[in-house]
Amino acid sequence: MTESQVLIDALPYTDEGYEDEKVRESAARLIEEEVKRYHSTKNYLEHMPGNLHEKWETPVMRTMFERLDARQPNEMLSMKRCELPQPPPGQKHDVSAWLSAVSNSRAQLEHQDVRLGNLELLKEYGCNSWTLYLQQLQRLSESQQAKLHALRQNIQDTNWARKREHTEAGNMLHKLEGEWLELVGKNYAVERACAELETEVEKLENLKKQKLSEQTKQTETAS
């Protein structure tokens, strides 16, 4: 048998008896025995590139994964950079400490100003940007739905092709089985007829021998 040929040893679309509880138990036992004997020696993912996820990892993600592997708790969000602390009590009269505090206040003020600018931009252009994003999602969803529909259609066509092949093979098997039973019946009838003929021939030979014996005895008596 060549590699392109497939040996079909089961026709689930035409075979009968699967609903029988004894048949189910027997099949379950066979599967369990096969599972115990089977040991996979082939890597079914060898054609896939290794460590594919590392391509999309960022330093932040890598640090997060390392923390999860070490089972360390998640760090709380620090709001210290948003605080406006005064100089400590011991530096109330230190000019450099007040200059540092004022510089921090200006940085916070600039940060809030940037936030307000971003909010204004979002207010002006956010709706259009969100609309474009939703349109992209819609196109992506339609593309994936089309692929899913094509895949399901392919699966259905494959199942219909399998059912057609199984039905044709089952009909052929039933036909060959009927022909085999017919030939077996004919052979039995021929063997029975031959046995009857042999019995008839044996009777005729015995009758012939008996007549020859009687004729011989009559000849001997007459002489």
Q: What share of the chain is helix, strand, coil (3-state, %, to 5)?
A: 75, 0, 25
DSSP 48: S
> Given pLDDT bands bounded at 50, 70 and 90, which one contains residue 183?
very high
**Overall pTM surpassing 0.75 (yes/no):** no
Are residues 23 and 10 in contact, defined by beta-carbon separation less than 8 angstroms?
no
Please identify which residue in the block is written with the tokens 């592997």: 69
**pLDDT score of 44 more than 80:** no
CA separation (Å) from 152 to 18, 66, 149?
27, 40, 5
Over range 84-90, report the average pLDDT: 84
Spatial neighbors of 165 by CB under 8 A, at least 6 apart, are 8
Closest CA relative to residue 12, chosen from 1, 33, 27: 27
Residue 164 corresponds to which tokens in the numbers above?
Answer: 């057609």
Count of positions (residues) in the chain: 223
Please identify which residue in the block is written with the tokens 């392109």: 4
Question: Hey, which of 76-85, 143-152, 212-221 has the most confident mean pLDDT?
Answer: 143-152
